[in-house]
Amino acid sequence: MNFTAGIKGFITLVIDPVSGKIADANEAALKFYGYNYEEITSLIISDINTLSPEEISVELKKVLTSDKNLFYFQHKIKSGEIKHVEVNITPLQIEGKEYLYSIVHDITEAVKTESLNKMLKHSLDIYTDGIYWMNSDNRFVYVNEAGGRMFGCKPEELLGRHLSEVNPSITPESLANLWQKLRTDGYYTTETIHRRIDGSEFFVEIRSVYVKHDGKEYNNGYARDISERKIIIQELTYAKEIAEESARKLRLSEEKLRVKLDFILSPQIEIPDFHLTDLIDLKQLQNIQDAFTLATGVASLITDVDGNPITETGNFSGVCRLIRETEKGREKCIMSDKNIGSKAAATRKPVIEKCQSCGFIDSGAPIFIGDKFIAIWLIGQVDVGGVTRELIENYSDEIGADKTKMVKEFKKIKTISIGQFKNIVNLLWLFAQELSSVAYNNLLLAKKIEEQKEYEKNLIAAKNKAEESDRLKSAFLHNMSHEIRTPMNAIMGFSELLAENYDDKGKLVKYTDIINQCSKDLLLIIDDILNIAKIESGLLKLSYESVNLTELFEELNIFYSEEKFRQNKPNVALRINMERDKEPVLIKTDQVRLKQIFLNLIGNALKFTDNGFVEAGFKDKNDGRFLFYVSDTGIGIPQNMHKAIFERFVQVDHENSKFYGGNGLGLSIVKGFVNLLGGDIWVESEEGRGSTFYFTINVV
């Protein structure tokens, strides 16, 4: 059969609707599908159409019932590639038999472009983080601008790159796991490390979803840079480790004591003035000292650098107690302790000395933090064989102690060999170094915590600031839309009424007036918004020129005389305070902005004053600045609103007073202009007695 011969250019297939067999195909079709004529005519349509045979037969029936003849299918060509096709099918009678005559258009490229655009738009609309689409080969097929920035390059530079190029920790296993999760759960989240184009690395949080599109699988998601969050967590973990380590050290196990500690001689941190108990809990210190006393049987006490006790003495001997009860004896004891302390501090090692009071053997080990000597651990009150009963009796006489009691207590004194005492001193030294180390670590920890607190404080402040500005922005938008909607609604409402009352001249005039007034209001509001936007964005460019103040004030005077008349305020006098006969006053400033400031201030003054005067004037401060003022005898402003009225949308709620209108933006704009001109603005006012607005500007 060769029905299609002669129709060149279009891909044409003839299909038997009953069997689905491809009965004929033209040259273009053979070229497109990649089969030769024999091959293609041995196929049935479901061999090339990706729909199931049932679905195909449902579709083709529509042709025969004339429901539809234009179809969009996906056709698989010989190479296995899927092509998007638009197929125009018409029924055709050939030799009494019904066939389907199909003209096929390849629209693959168009579909691809269109669907990719849809994908991009979807991503960009939803996310603000780095967005990516990755194909099932784990190569980027799309990255948004933010994603490019994150990796320090243009998004295009990432296209085609394999995930492992940006994620150094990716393995074939982790990729398999990723896809398994995507396929079964539909999503995948993780925290991992990514590598920028320049090789530097950063932490990211990944959230991916599984997307099947056009028969292909995609990993679509976003990557968020969480380096900062990670660093905070790392620092906290580090601080926690130090805290745990310190607690462990404080337990001072026997095994630990045998380990010679590296004494910290030159720490890098600055050491402030503090007491040992600022860094080590006093109770723990006492426990350590008591454990030592119990193990060795010698008297023990920790004092500060001036000899003041920090802990309570353990195993204090009766002899020493009696000696210290006398004034002379106590003096000698303290002197002796101090001597040991200063020698130990100077040598940075424990010293063994004969007590200057009664001749027993004492020792002291220094406790340092860095190279700062902060305490001394004293032990002793033992006899190594040099003290006799006679010596004790003589010493009792010398200091005025009770001799009998002294001798009795002397008998209880612990006698050990000097070798044994030295062993005890070695142990003491280990304890003292351990305490030094714990105190130092605690100091580091305290510093770390302090820094962390500071950091958190700043973080919270920044967050609050961002939230506040966000809040202000939405409040601004909310207020603005309200301000705009009010005159707009009136305009729309009255325009409708206008049409309805076309024949009523009186109403026509009234409504037109209202519409006019509302349009003016609307224009003013839009002007205000534009001014605020310009001030905020810093786009307002000042243009300095020579301004003749005398002329400016005369102009204002004329304008407001008319305004006064228009507002029907015969009882308000307009005054300009300048010496007319003097030379014209010339300054260099932005004339337009200065005029806008005055128009606002004088406008307000007139609005809020029914009797008395409105006065504007200036003073040359002779320091490169000018002081201007606008004064009125109007309703005044309560003290607590003097600052607030310069904020946007703030209006004083004047009780029992008429409605003055306005939108509360004028003064905030005036303040913006004054600040731009290098000056300040403030108000002095008393309720019921009038207000004076002062402002300065820098003149060149």
Q: Could you say whether residue 667 binds ligand ADP (CB under 6 A)? A: yes
Alpha-carbon distance of 672 to 2, in angstroms, equals 84
Contact 28, 9 (CB under 8 A): yes
Ordered alpha helix ranges (H), 128-273: 145-150, 163-166, 172-185, 227-250, 254-258
Q: How many residues bind ligand ADP (CB under 6 A)?
A: 19
CB of 665 to ligand ADP, least distance (A): 6
- Bridge partners of 192, per DSSP, are 204
Q: Could you say whether residue 493 binds ligand ADP (CB under 6 A)? A: no
Q: Which stretch binds ligand ADP (CB under 6 A): 20-28, 384-392, 444-452, 663-671?
A: 663-671
CB of 566 to ligand ADP, least distance (A): 17
Nearer to ligand ADP, 69 or 596 (CB): 596
Q: Could you say whether residue 635 binds ligand ADP (CB under 6 A)? A: yes
Nearer to ligand ADP, 364 or 603 (CB): 603
**Phi/psi of residue 553, nearest 5 degrees:** -70, -35
Question: Who contacts 56 (Cβ-Cβ below 8 Å, separation ≥6)?
Answer: 20, 45, 46, 49
Alpha-carbon distance of 697 to 674, in angstroms, equals 7
Helices 549-566, 591-607: axis angle to 10 degrees equals 30
Q: Could you say whether residue 651 binds ligand ADP (CB under 6 A)? A: yes
Nearer to ligand ADP, 142 or 598 (CB): 598
Q: Could you say whether residue 631 binds ligand ADP (CB under 6 A)? A: no
Alpha-carbon distance of 336 to 353, in angstroms, equals 9
Q: Which stretch binds ligand ADP (CB under 6 A): 70-78, 111-119, 420-428, 664-672?
A: 664-672
Q: From the CB of residue 634, how many other CB atoms can be counted at a distance below 10 Å?
A: 23
Task: Select the residue interacting with ligand ADP from 645, 674, 677, 681 (CB under 6 A).
Answer: 645
Q: Could you say whether residue 679 binds ligand ADP (CB under 6 A)? A: no
Contact 91, 83 (CB under 8 A): no
Task: Select the residue interacting with ligand ADP from 148, 267, 318, 664 (CB under 6 A).
Answer: 664
Element (H, E) at 461: helix 418-500
Task: Select the residue interacting with ligand ADP from 605, 616, 677, 697 (CB under 6 A).
Answer: 605
Helices 418-500, 227-250: axis angle to 10 degrees equals 150
Q: Could you say whether residue 672 binds ligand ADP (CB under 6 A)? A: no
Q: Could you say whether residue 318 binds ligand ADP (CB under 6 A)? A: no
Q: Could you say whether residue 678 binds ligand ADP (CB under 6 A)? A: no
CB of 472 to ligand ADP, least distance (A): 16
Nearer to ligand ADP, 350 or 634 (CB): 634
Contact 354, 361 (CB under 8 A): yes
Smallest CA-to-CA distance from 425 within 472, 371, 358, 378 is with 378
Q: Work out the widest C-alpha separation in the chain, in whole angstroms.
A: 149
Residues 159-178, interacting with ligand ADP (CB under 6 A): none
What DSSP letter does each residue of 417-445 carry, written as one string?
-HHHHHHHHHHHHHHHHHHHHHHHHHHHH
Per-residue contact track with ligand ADP, 606 to 625, x per CB under 6 A? Answer: --x-----------------
CB of 630 to ligand ADP, least distance (A): 8
Nearer to ligand ADP, 96 or 661 (CB): 661
Q: Could you say whether residue 337 binds ligand ADP (CB under 6 A)? A: no
Which amino acid, one-letter code, is at 193? Answer: I
CB of 632 to ligand ADP, least distance (A): 5
Going by the DSSP 8-state scheme, the letter that residue 536 receives in this structure is: H
Question: Who contacts 583 (Cβ-Cβ below 8 Å, separation ≥6)?
Answer: none
Question: Who contacts 652 (Cβ-Cβ below 8 Å, separation ≥6)?
Answer: 637, 638, 641, 645
**Phi/psi of residue 496, nearest 5 degrees:** -60, -45
Question: What is the total residue count of the chain?
Answer: 700
Nearer to ligand ADP, 373 or 608 (CB): 608
Contact 446, 369 (CB under 8 A): no
Q: Could you say whether residue 666 binds ligand ADP (CB under 6 A)? A: yes
**Phi/psi of residue 405, nearest 5 degrees:** -60, -40
Nearer to ligand ADP, 323 or 635 (CB): 635
Smallest CA-to-CA distance from 22 within 50, 8, 51, 1 is with 1
Q: Could you say whether residue 525 binds ligand ADP (CB under 6 A)? A: no
Query: In 3-state terms, what secondary structure has residue 298?
Result: coil
CB of 649 to ligand ADP, least distance (A): 8
Nearer to ligand ADP, 324 or 564 (CB): 564
Per-residue contact track with ligand ADP, 186 to 205, x per CB under 6 A? Answer: --------------------
CB of 675 to ligand ADP, least distance (A): 15
Nearer to ligand ADP, 379 or 652 (CB): 652
CB of 522 to ligand ADP, least distance (A): 14
What DSSP letter does each residue of 352-371 carry, written as one string?
EEE-TTT--EEEEEEEEETT
Nearer to ligand ADP, 195 or 595 (CB): 595
Nearer to ligand ADP, 16 or 610 (CB): 610
Could you give the angle at the alpha carbon of 22 between the alpha carbons of 64 and 8, nearest 5°? 95
Alpha-carbon distance of 430 to 443, in angstroms, equals 20
Q: Could you say whether residue 652 binds ligand ADP (CB under 6 A)? A: yes
Question: Who contacts 520 (Cβ-Cβ below 8 Å, separation ≥6)?
Answer: none
Q: Could you say whether residue 637 binds ligand ADP (CB under 6 A)? A: yes
Q: Which stretch binds ligand ADP (CB under 6 A): 101-109, 252-260, 422-430, 635-643?
A: 635-643
Nearer to ligand ADP, 543 or 640 (CB): 640
Q: Could you say whether residue 663 binds ligand ADP (CB under 6 A)? A: yes
CB of 134 to ligand ADP, least distance (A): 54
Alpha-carbon distance of 68 to 52, in angstroms, equals 19
Q: Which two tokens stand for residue 253?
A: 């196990």
Alpha-carbon distance of 645 to 637, in angstroms, equals 9
Q: Which stretch binds ligand ADP (CB under 6 A): 124-132, 193-201, 290-298, 603-611?
A: 603-611
Per-residue contact track with ligand ADP, 273 to 292, x per CB under 6 A? Answer: --------------------
List of residues contacting ligand ADP (CB under 6 A): 604-605, 608, 632, 634-637, 645, 651-652, 662-668, 691
